Structure 1
Amino acid sequence: MSNRSDEVTESRDTDDLLEETDRLLSDAGFEAADAEPSPSAATDQSDVAAGAAHDRESTTASSRLAGLRSWLAVDTYFSPKAFVAFVLLLGAGLFAGATVIPIAGRIIGILGVAFTIGLLSSKRRYLELTAAGTAVGAVSAVASHAFLAVAGSFQAVVAVGVTVGLVASLVGYYFGRDLRDGLTREI
């Protein structure tokens, strides 16, 4: 740790501190502690003290509410822009995978794009990516197996699509982040 030589400490005795406190209190409308306050002054002082206590409570409450608002803010945990971008990227990967590889190409396409996103992104975006993966998987499954979905197996088709999209995007993103961490960590 470094020494801070620019700090100046001032030693003062207790009497000086008490005098300064009395002076500050008298400037604020309070009387010194050793003087006898009049009954009206005591009432005024209690009103001022009650008002100050109320101000402190309202300030504390408003700061707590501000903290709660920032904690509950959608942008803190979920980025809609990143979600839309991931939906488009995973959809393109799904389409490219299905075009190039006939068997399991969609899964490999989602997994490859999620891996690349994990490798290239510096922020952790698990929530956005898994939500995008499940959405793309569900839409793809319903579009690919529309006959089964209409015939009465809609829930099963959507469940399989959501599961495949979730697992492929999560595994790909995890391994991409892991490789990025390994490449950027100092030895």
Structure 2
Amino acid sequence: MSDRSDEVTKPRDTDDLLEETDRLLSDAGLEAGSDETSASTDSERGHRPNETHASTAADDSTRRVGLRSWLAADSYFSPKAFLAFVLLLGTGLLAGGTTIPIAGRIIGILGVAFAIGLLTSKRRYLELTAAGTSVGAVSAVASNAFLAAAGSFQTVVAVGVAVGLVASLVGYYFGRDLRTGLTREIE
């Protein structure tokens, strides 16, 4: 630890701190608190509490747009990425199933998920796991159609979902981990 004796602090007035806080919050598009708090700080500075500010409407519209974009489904789930992952994982499942006789489908999903994690920079865990579970469920029902028709449909789907989920998550996680290791600065 270093000694910080070379730093000099100057005493500041409470009004200066309040003005600087209000200025910083208004630059960020936020308000200083509730109506009661802003009324008391306005009255302390000599402003009337009923005085309207022109920037209040602009701040409210900015806050609403920010809240709308925060609540938008596109910020959490991308349908385009989901469809692309379904196609990629389905291709990996088919390729793995045709080339490797035992556990080839699982290895195919795992390998494609690993490659996706290695190549993509944006985190897409939700889309990839949804695609993995979908591909796993459809594949399990298609390959075990007789069991599904005989009354074990829920069991077949549950096993397919579990296998697809685990294979896609593990592959994607290790792909992202390797990507992080390759792109991180060496200290």
- Normalising by structure 1, what TM-score? 0.69
Kindly indicate whether residue 131 of structure 2 is the aligned counterpart of residue 132 of structure 1.
yes
Kindly indicate whether residue 62 of structure 2 is the aligned counterpart of residue 63 of structure 1.
yes
Q: State the AA in 2 paired with 1:174.
A: Y
Judging changes above 3 Å, is the alpha-carbon distance between structure 1 residues 154 and 62 closer, same or farther for their aligned structure 2 residues?
A: same
Q: Distance in 2 between matches of 1:57 and 1:155?
A: 55
Q: Distance in 2 between matches of 1:153 and 1:122?
A: 40
Shift of 1:169: 0.3
Residue of structure 2 in register with 1:174 after alignment: 173
Q: State the AA in 2 paired with 1:139.
A: V
Residue of structure 1 in register with 2:79 after alignment: 80
1:123 is paired with a residue whose SS is coil
Residue of structure 2 in register with 1:123 after alignment: 122
Shift of 1:166: 0.4
> 1:81-111, CA deviations, whole angstroms, 9 ceiling, x for partnerless residues?
1111100000000000000011100000000
Shift of 1:62: 3.2
Q: State the AA in 2 paired with 1:138.
A: A
Residue of structure 1 in register with 2:154 after alignment: 155
Q: 5+ unaligned residues in a row in structure 1: which ranges?
A: 1-45
Q: State the AA in 2 paired with 1:149.
A: A
> 1:154-173, CA deviations, whole angstroms, 9 ceiling, x for partnerless residues?
11111100000000000000
Q: Distance in 2 between matches of 1:132 and 1:58?
A: 43
Shift of 1:138: 0.6
Aligned residues: 138
Residue of structure 1 in register with 2:113 after alignment: 114
User: Larger radius of gyration, structure 1 or 2?
Assistant: 1
Q: Distance in 1 between matches of 2:71 and 2:87?
A: 27
Residue of structure 2 in register with 1:89 after alignment: 88
1:85 is paired with a residue whose SS is helix
Q: State the AA in 1 paired with 2:170.
A: V
> 1:116-163, CA deviations, whole angstroms, 9 ceiling, x for partnerless residues?
111111111111111100000011011111111111111111110000
2:185 is paired with a residue whose SS is coil
Q: State the AA in 1 paired with 2:146.
A: F
Q: 5+ unaligned residues in a row in structure 2: which ranges?
A: 1-47
Residue of structure 1 in register with 2:163 after alignment: 164
Q: Distance in 2 between matches of 1:115 and 1:179?
A: 9
Q: State the AA in 1 paired with 2:182.
A: L
> 1:8-31, CA deviations, whole angstroms, 9 ceiling, x for partnerless residues?
xxxxxxxxxxxxxxxxxxxxxxxx
Q: How much is the aligned-residue C-alpha RMSD, in angstroms?
A: 1.7
- Normalising by structure 2, what TM-score? 0.69
Q: Distance in 2 between matches of 1:57 and 1:158?
A: 54
Shift of 1:58: 4.9
Q: Distance in 2 between matches of 1:58 and 1:151?
A: 64
